[in-house]
Amino acid sequence: MKHSNLIEAVRKKLKKTTRNDHHIVFQVLTHVERLQATGEGEEILEHYLASKTWYLGRVFYYNGKIYDFNNMAIEKWSRANRHKSWSIVKSFTHLNRI
């Protein structure tokens, strides 16, 4: 896609956004300006166009990189046992009792 077509498609999608103060709007506009000034960073705008709106809540665009926190698989560790040793757990329970 040419830069002008890509920018036009991004702006069209941004007009459909109901929350204009959402973090993704500011980050996409920054990368639109970066693409216009330097000609770099079109993969970020293509990622924005290919992603659904609900998916972008945990996506961040920073310095030409895409940080996607939607499919993070993390290990959860707990020390809440009688020996006070660290062990891997499946989920955390009773967090609001602290």
Please report whether residue 34 resides in a domain. Answer: yes
Does residue 74 form part of some domain?
Answer: no
> Does residue 13 form part of some domain?
yes
Q: Which domain holds residue 8?
A: 3-68
Which tens digit of pLDDT belongs to each residue from 23-34?
Answer: 999 999 999 999
In a domain, 73, yes or no: no
Question: Position of tokens 């609900």?
Answer: 54
pLDDT on residue 44? 93
Taking alpha carbons only, the member of 58, 35, 79 closest to residue 11 is: 35
Domain count, the chain: 1
Does 86 fall in a domain?
Answer: no
pLDDT at 98 exceeding the cut of 50: no
pLDDT band at 21 (very low <50, low <70, confident <90, very high): confident
- In a domain, residue 35? The reply is yes
| Residue 32: burial class (beta carbons within 10 Å; 0-12, 13-18, 19+) | buried
pLDDT tens for 81-96 read 788 888 888 776 665 5
Give the model's pLDDT for residue 69.
84
Q: Is there a domain that residue 56 lies in?
A: yes
pTM for this one? 0.70
